[in-house]
Amino acid sequence: MRLLRSLIGLAGFLLLWEAASRFVLDAGLIPPPSQVLVRCLTVFGEDRFAGDVASTVLSWLIAVSLAIVIAVPIGLTIGRIPFVRAATMPLIEFLRPLPGVALIPLITVLLGVGAQTKITLATFAAVWPILFNTSYAVAEVDRHMVETARAFRTSRRRMISAVVLPSAAPFILTGVRLSASIALIAIVATEFLFGGSIGVGQFVYVHGLSAGRMDTVLAVTVLAGLFGLLINASLAGVQNRWLGWPASSASGDDSGSKRRWQLAVSCVAVAAILLAWQAIASAVADPYFPPPSQIAGRAGDLWFSSAMLTGDILPSLGMLLGGWLIASVLGIVLGVALGRAGTAMDYVGALLAFARSVPPPLLVPVFMVMFSLGPQTELVTIVTGAIWPVLLNAVDGARSVDATKTETARAFRLSKAAWILGVVLPAAAPKIFAGLRLSLSIALILMVLSELVGTSNGIGYQLNNSQGYSDLAGMWAWIVLIGALGYVLNRLLLVVQRRSLAWHGGQFA
């Protein structure tokens, strides 16, 4: 029955799209699905398309594999050794929100334009979810399991392989699933922005912006979405079949003395990193890696310049927050409505899962043709990419309301508004906040991406300008600003989450 409903929902969506394209919209900008689906079959006959697909898929596989090889061992070390965790978490928390696309100008200067660039950027972007999930899950392994293993004189290697890794595996695989999507976005964005490398992103750029073939753009977008959907479903199947046990639960000491100790170690570690960087960069004198003092001086000139502040930084921040807020409100409203609408998700669930799997950079040519260059294109790009984590988490949260609460609300004859605001939203809030934090990271990525494409102001635009003028210290200054914005906004949202969900009793990191 669920499959039949999904097919009905898909057929209804295609019929609505077909009618809108033929009778309401410009078919040149938004071709009907009949044309797009035919193009999905014929696009494989295009010159070098198979090579473009192979380049993108191979680069994605290499990047995700490298991210796993790098992140899991480091995450195990960080999670198992409290001192290392306290010393490295500030750096991880700063780099984790930094979008890989923000490094595109710097990496292209260092490595040139080619497969090595997109693989490096995708690996950087994919490392952090795996590393963070691994370190967190390992640190929260049940102490009783560890003490039992020690009582049986289990070796360190056996402890890792038989106790720690199995306990943390579900959470690690969740990080891999997230990293797989992020790596695909980074690769397609690099291919789209810098045409020296073949790949699906470059194919879309040539056919979309240069040739104006929107049917080809949408056909490739559909195929990329199907690929992303297949990968996510495969990883989810692996997790459900072979890693079906619950993820690690919090069991660590969260006392005030421990937090103060961690803060002191973190401050010392940050100072040591900056001093080492300053000493090494000054001794080597490599123009591509300026010392922190030079970056700080250039950052002061750029960030606090009235022209830059009012013309670039504040507009970018406003676009980021505006797009994220619109995506959040739409995602919560639609998600709660779908979650409480009985069988509604049976009809649209497959469509939403597909839409979430589409790499947002592939839609940029469509938005640029539809809305032309400007703030409207940036806003639409951010909203369409950032809405999905909020919407899908809101659906899950709204559907998981405890049956006892539902019956109690009916017994008190609560109004619809009181029921939604007083029962459904509080019950769904933990999952909604998880979606909001992920959505904020995606919004930052898309803000930078949209400004790198062709706007006339913004942080991404100035980052691109710094590359064009070989202002390497300026490039580093803008990258640091993007990372700082991601870190500060994430911490602010975490504070709001902790205060809003103080009744929940969960641990949020």
The full set of domain ranges for the chain reads 26-252, 293-509
- Name every residue whose Cβ is closer than 8 Å to that of residue 417 and which is 6 or more positions away in sequence: none
CATH 3.30.10.20 fits 26-252, yes or no: no
Q: What is the pTM of this model?
A: 0.84
- Name every residue whose Cβ is closer than 8 Å to that of residue 326 and which is 6 or more positions away in sequence: 379, 383
Same fold, 26-252 and 293-509: yes
One-letter amino acid identity for 336?
V
One-letter amino acid identity for 53?
V
The helix, strand and coil proportions of the chain, stated in percent and rounded to the nearest 5, come to 80, 0, 20
Q: Please give the chain's pLDDT, 509 residues, in tens.
A: 777 888 888 888 889 988 988 888 777 778 888 888 888 888 887 777 888 889 899 999 999 999 999 999 998 888 888 888 878 877 777 777 777 778 888 888 888 777 888 899 999 989 988 998 888 888 777 677 777 777 777 777 777 777 777 878 888 888 898 889 889 888 888 888 765 568 888 888 777 666 667 888 888 888 888 888 888 888 878 777 776 655 555 444 555 556 666 667 777 877 888 898 889 988 888 888 889 999 999 999 999 888 899 989 999 999 999 999 999 999 999 999 988 887 888 888 888 888 888 888 888 777 877 777 778 888 998 999 899 989 988 988 888 777 776 677 677 777 777 777 777 888 888 889 888 988 998 899 889 888 887 677 889 889 888 887 888 888 899 999 998 898 899 889 988 888 887 765 555 55
CATH architecture of the region 293-509: Orthogonal Bundle (1.10)
Residues in the chain: 509
d(CA 357, CA 291) in angstroms, rounded, equals 40
Q: What is the pLDDT of residue 246?
A: 58
Collapsing DSSP to helix, strand or coil, 110 comes out as: helix
Q: What is the pLDDT of residue 431?
A: 86
How many alpha carbons fall within 13 Å on the CB side of residue 455?
Answer: 27
Q: What is the pLDDT of residue 318?
A: 93
